[in-house]
Amino acid sequence: MIFFRPLLVLLGLLAMPLFAQPATRVVTLAPNLAEMVYAAGAGDALVGVVAYSDYPEQVKTLPGVGDAFRIDFERLSALKPDLVLGWGGGNPVHLLDRVRELGFRVEVLTPRTLDDVAEHLERIGEWTGHGGQAEVAAAEYRRQLAGLRQRYTGVEKITVFYQVSAQPLYTITNRQFTGQIIELCGGQNVFGSLNELAPVVSPEAVVAADPRVILTGNEQAKDVIALWSRWPAMQVIGKSGVMGVDARLTARASPRLMEGARQVCDALDRARSEEHAR
């Protein structure tokens, strides 16, 4: 039996999947995944991205293969990736299955909580041979997240409505990262407990919730102020309670969530300061 052990070990090594080698040609199927590859130290391996991938700056020059929901398989094949990173819960399952059928290695990341970002950085580092750099990035992300949790534990709660768009009136729940950031910063998302990621709500429901703060994307803050000025009895009106944040920083599962978190926390801190000054 001892005689055959080396042979068994050799056969086991030969049977290992080919993708045990670090990936050197990576295509990402969501904008946040391109950010994650760079954050993990594997930016040089990224050879293709999808629409709206715009960070860091180098990503804008890379070939596109479609968007998160439709892929040009000829373009994808031409790039000859040895790793395709998919977005679980975002990319359609049939699309990911088709990429696998073409013979490409697909790894799917499904971020659901703020903590998942660090773990996914480490996975990307392992898959691309950049484990050390990825671990450093993950540790820094965890450090920032822990710092915010400590700072805002026990802080005075403040009610918040996040407006994604006006027609229809979309908001977000705590299943989405922006909602989790609001809660992290000591906010109470007035629609946080609904089941959908981004439900449609009525103006009357928002008026009834009477949030102290309305957050929205920077580019539409003025329009949001004009919309809610139609309900002057709301406590947010006339108190600088409508504030803009960079929606890309609060919605994409990448280390930049911590930048978005600081923007949201600062906005809620300003609202608290105003309350105390009255």
Does residue 218 have a pLDDT over 90?
Answer: no
pLDDT in tens, 12-47: 433 334 557 999 999 999 999 999 999 999 999 999
The string of DSSP letters for 148-177 reads HHHHHTTPPPEEEEEES-SSS-B---TTSH
Rounded to whole angstroms, the Cα distance separating 11 from 129 reads: 24
Residue with tokens 């295509």: 27
Q: What is the pTM of this model?
A: 0.87
Q: Which domains does the chain have, with CATH numbers?
A: 21-144 (3.40.50.1980), 155-277 (3.40.50.1980)
Q: Which range is least confidently modeled, 70-74, 168-172, 210-214, 219-223? A: 219-223
pLDDT in tens, 146-155: 999 999 999 9
For residue 223, name the pLDDT band (cuts at 50, 70, 90): confident
Share of the chain above pLDDT 90, in %: 76
CA-closest candidate to residue 55, choices 68, 67, 44, 39:
39
Q: What is the pLDDT of residue 213?
A: 94
